[in-house]
């Protein structure tokens, strides 16, 4: 009888080990259950059962098995360590950390326990301690490739990118087939602005694991940065093919195709809408031009935020009596020759330095151009924080006593929203960079106006709304316009024909709107459409689309990018700016109006689709705002065929530039300062954020 039991036990343990090694975890659990029946007092079997359940994704069951092992042997360090890993998977990070500590107390030289502690500490945002734990694990097990790999991931989060690359290299040296290490090494190299090396690293990951969807996605990102847009789209498409549930890759693929104006024939809208409003997360910015739906934009932001900032530890700030000066921190990657600075430069210069201490926190490239110097000359302190982690930047802001942190990036390119997840200041505001809600609890306010976010649309924003008078958009009323206005012929434009223009980025152009523009060209003899030359794929596709709609493709003319003063001057060669619908012209709209070029728009649902209406209202031209595509088309046709009416609009625009609020930088600055005083005062009195409306400043 005993021999039969022994044979049964031996057979089952071999099968259980084989199933476990093959990843057939549920079958392993079944065999181990029989083993436990034969030997009910074996802590090793319960530990094995825990590992098999964890492999099957049954983490609660795994913890129960580990607890049985520990009950039999309270000094079983390995079971405590494994239990910690299962607790981590359930999001019970403090319990997991406690379990790691118990494992280490019982067996200080257990490398896995120190490594698991590092993983948990990373989840808790305690990155320095996580690196220290990995260092111990590596010292205890010098050939610990996983330890070097995980250590590198934390160093990357800490923005210690060179050290991260070194640690990835050590992981790869120990485990040459470590595809994930190659892929994440590429991410670190991309952040170091070494894109060709990053590309090589992604290629190595894909050679090692041809079905590595994440590596294809990362490869797509660096190819997009290198302006190899067609290859980027192919790489994203391969990531989606390999992993149909890879929602972030789906979103990037759609946006990449929008950049190239690569449309499916006949597509006028998305049904269903772009990804990111179900279970998976994708960048909210990419969808702004693909659909105009404020509810979906908010949902997409919430899902993205839950995926990217799920467990960040917020610092607490205690209310205290308000004092002056109020310290304002502006955070951006764009403090150089960039659209954000074109709008904001005068704000920094006209801030009341007696009432406000202005700090700039720059986490973008160190470009020493004229706009960067202009900013440095205007602010109280300039902090170059590109090499610091999100938490370290938030700590620096806190130590500088910043009262209000203003996020100028939101979810746009190179954003670092994690800074605000760590609470850089008691009051945090979403302003200007991202035209929509962040969908998070750590951004208190969004600055807008009554056109951008009317009262009935406030529920589409997680932030409380600060409604500024006039337009929310600050402008620089000292921007220079070159006196050298080119001849139309030098720009490829007809000397006498009517010039419709839209100098927005091409990704904002959607098929239904392009169809409308082509009807205008067909109905206005000799007219042309003047667009921005963004990339060769978009140019070719737009011309092909024109031809498919019965319009000579040569009537679609493209403008190269130009220095700001020259770009503003050439607006004189156009007759009418045609706005895009889902994502309006923003800086581009104020460029046109500042240069004296009328613009027509259709007001939409979401923030991004209401910006041009805000600008036109602030400059006193509500007659150029329409509420439907039909009204927009009719207005464009009327202005193109009624020279007297268009001339009257031109005169009104030139007069209103000098008398309305849109291009009055000092007035807009005072309005924004009123907003800061209002929200800072509420915090100082211990009051929660609320929707608020700033009255128009007078006497400026």
Q: What is the pLDDT of residues 91-124, one digit of tens each?
A: 999 999 999 999 999 999 999 999 999 999 999 9
CA–CA distances in Å: residue 505 to residues 1, 329, 531, 539: 81, 29, 9, 12
Residue 269 lies in a domain: yes
Q: What is the pLDDT of residues 185-210, one digit of tens each?
A: 999 999 999 999 999 999 999 999 99
CATH code where residue 382 lies? 3.40.50.11380
Co-location of 549 and 436 in the same domain: no
Residue 113 lies in a domain: yes
Co-location of 545 and 625 in the same domain: yes
Q: What percent of the chain has pLDDT over 70?
A: 96
Among residues 151, 169, 191, which one ends one of the domains?
191
- The two structure tokens encoding residue 236: 């994203």
CATH code where residue 135 lies? 1.25.40.10
Residue range 549-558: mean pLDDT, rounded = 98
Co-location of 400 and 516 in the same domain: no
Residue 103 belongs to what domain range?
A: 2-191
**Residues 684, 403: Cα–Cα separation, whole Å:** 10
Residue 316 pLDDT > 90: no
Q: What is the pLDDT of residues 666-688, one digit of tens each?
A: 999 999 999 999 999 999 999 99
Co-location of 171 and 277 in the same domain: no
The predicted structure's pLDDT at residue 18: 86
Co-location of 355 and 461 in the same domain: yes
Q: What is the pLDDT of residues 205-227, one digit of tens each?
A: 999 999 999 999 999 999 999 99
Is the pTM of the predicted complex or chain greater than 0.85?
yes
Asked whether the CA dihedral 353, 354, 356, 361 is positive or negative, the reply is: positive
The predicted structure's pLDDT at residue 312: 62
Residue 456 φ then ψ, to 5°:
-75, -5
The predicted structure's pLDDT at residue 209: 98
The predicted structure's pLDDT at residue 311: 66
Co-location of 173 and 53 in the same domain: yes
- Confirm if 99 and 87 have CB atoms less than 8 A apart: yes
The predicted structure's pLDDT at residue 266: 41
3-state secondary structure labels for all residues of 325-354 = CEEEEEEECCCCCCHHHHHHHHHHHHCCCC
Residue 35 lies in a domain: yes
DSSP secondary structure code for residue 365 in this structure: -
Residue range 302-327: mean pLDDT, rounded = 84
pLDDT confidence band for 4 (50 / 70 / 90): very low
Residue 473 lies in a domain: no
pLDDT confidence band for 269 (50 / 70 / 90): very low
**Residues 523, 83: Cα–Cα separation, whole Å:** 72
Co-location of 397 and 528 in the same domain: no
Residue 563 pLDDT > 80: yes
The predicted structure's pLDDT at residue 7: 59
pLDDT confidence band for 360 (50 / 70 / 90): very high
Residue 151 pLDDT > 80: yes
- Confirm if 516 and 543 have CB atoms less than 8 A apart: no
Residue 283 lies in a domain: yes
Residue 430 pLDDT > 80: yes
Co-location of 448 and 508 in the same domain: no
Q: What is the pLDDT of residues 443-453, one digit of tens each?
A: 999 999 999 99
Residue range 33-44: mean pLDDT, rounded = 83
Residue 645 pLDDT > 90: yes
How many domains does the chain divide into?
4
Co-location of 388 and 527 in the same domain: no
Residue 266 lies in a domain: yes
- With residue 439 as reference, give the H or E element that holds it: none
Q: What percent of the chain has pLDDT over 90?
A: 89
Among residues 151, 173, 191, which one ends one of the domains?
191
Cα 224 to chain centroid distance, Å, stands at: 15
Residue 423 lies in a domain: yes
pLDDT confidence band for 698 (50 / 70 / 90): low
Co-location of 112 and 12 in the same domain: yes
Q: What is the mean pLDDT of the chain?
A: 94
Co-location of 304 and 330 in the same domain: no
Residue range 244-273: mean pLDDT, rounded = 82
The predicted structure's pLDDT at residue 321: 79
- Confirm if 97 and 117 have CB atoms less than 8 A apart: yes
468 pairs with which residues across the strands? 449
pLDDT confidence band for 272 (50 / 70 / 90): low
The predicted structure's pLDDT at residue 3: 43
CATH code where residue 648 lies? 3.40.50.2000
Co-location of 382 and 271 in the same domain: no
């Amino acid at each position: 009888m005993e021999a039969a039991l022994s044979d049964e036990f031996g057979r089952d343990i071999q099968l259980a080990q084989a199933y476990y090694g093959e990843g057939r975890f549920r079958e392993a659990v079944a065999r181990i259950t029989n083993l436990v029946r034969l030997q009910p007092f074996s802590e090793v079997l319960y530990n094995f059962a825990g590992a098999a359940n964890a492999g099957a994704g049954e983490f609660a069951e795994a913890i129960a098995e580990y607890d049985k092992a520990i009950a039999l042997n309270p000094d079983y360090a390995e079971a405590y360590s494994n239990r910690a890993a299962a607790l981590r998977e359930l999001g019970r990070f403090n319990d997991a950390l406690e379990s790691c500590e118990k494992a280490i107390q019982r067996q200080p030289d257990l490398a896995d326990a120190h490594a698991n502690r590092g993983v948990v500490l990373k989840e808790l945002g305690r990155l320095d301690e996580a690196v220290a734990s990995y260092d111990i694990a590596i010292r205890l097990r010098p050939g610990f490739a996983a330890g070097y790999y995980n250590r590198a991931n934390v160093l990357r989060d800490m923005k210690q990118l060179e050290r991260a690359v070194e640690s990835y290299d050590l992981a790869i040296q120990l485990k040459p087939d470590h595809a994930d290490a190659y892929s994440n090494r590429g991410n670190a190299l991309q952040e170091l602005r070494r894109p060709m090396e990053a590309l090589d690293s992604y290629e190595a990951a894909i050679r090692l694991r041809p079905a590595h969807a994440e590596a294809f996605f990362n490869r797509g990102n660096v190819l997009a940065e290198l302006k190899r847009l067609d290859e980027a789209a192919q790489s994203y498409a391969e990531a989606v093919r390999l992993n149909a549930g890879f929602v972030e890759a789906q979103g990037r693929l759609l946006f990449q195709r929008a950049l190239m104006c690569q449309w499916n024939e006949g597509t006028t809208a998305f049904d269903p809408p772009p990804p990111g409003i179900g279970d998976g997360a994708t960048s909210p910015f990419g969808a702004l031009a693909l659909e105009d739906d404020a509810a979906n934009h908010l949902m997409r932001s919430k899902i993205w935020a839950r995926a990217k900032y799920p467990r960040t530890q917020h610092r607490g700030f205690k209310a205290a009596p308000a004092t002056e000066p109020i310290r304002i921190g502006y955070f951006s990657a764009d403090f150089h020759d960039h659209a954000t600075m074109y709008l904001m430069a005068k704000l920094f210069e006209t801030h009341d330095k007696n009432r406000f201490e202005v700090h700039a926190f720059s986490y973008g490239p160190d470009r020493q151009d004229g706009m960067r110097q202009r900013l440095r000359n205007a602010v109280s302190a300039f902090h170059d924080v590109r090499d610091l982690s999100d938490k370290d930047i938030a700590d620096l802001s806190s130590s500088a006593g910043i009262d209000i942190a203003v996020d100028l990036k939101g979810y746009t390119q190179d954003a670092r929203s994690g800074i605000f997840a760590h609470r850089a200041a008691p009051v945090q505001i979403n302003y200007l960079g991202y035209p929509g809600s962040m969908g998070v609890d750590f951004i208190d306010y969004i600055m807008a106006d009554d056109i951008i976010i009317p009262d009935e649309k406030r529920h589409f924003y997680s932030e409380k709304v600060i409604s500024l008078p006039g337009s929310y958009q600050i402008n620089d009323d000292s921007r220079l316009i070159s006196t050298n206005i080119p001849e139309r012929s030098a720009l490829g434009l007809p000397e006498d024909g009517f010039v419709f223009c839209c100098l927005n980025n091409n990704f904002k152009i959607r098929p239904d709107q392009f169809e409308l523009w082509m009807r205008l060209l067909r109905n206005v003899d000799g007219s042309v459409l003047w667009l921005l030359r963004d990339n060769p794929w978009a140019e070719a596709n737009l011309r092909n689309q024109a031809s498919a709609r019965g319009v000579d493709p040569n009537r679609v003319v493209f403008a190269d990018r130009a220095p700001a003063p020259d770009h503003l001057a050439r607006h004189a060669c156009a007759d009418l700016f045609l706005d895009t619908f889902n994502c309006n012209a923003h800086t581009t709209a104020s460029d046109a109006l500042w240069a004296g070029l009328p613009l027509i728009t259709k007001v939409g649902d979401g923030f991004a689709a209401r910006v041009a209406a805000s600008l036109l209202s602030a400059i006193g031209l509500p007659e150029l705002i329409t509420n439907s595509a039909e009204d927009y088309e009719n207005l464009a046709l009327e202005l193109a065929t009624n020279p007297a009416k268009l001339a009257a609009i031109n005169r009104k625009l030139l007069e209103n530039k000098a008398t309305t609020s849109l291009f009055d930088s000092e007035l807009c600055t005072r309005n924004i300062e009123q907003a800061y005083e209002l929200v800072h005062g509420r915090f100082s009195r211990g009051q929660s954020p609320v929707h608020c409306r700033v009255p128009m400043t007078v006497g400026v």
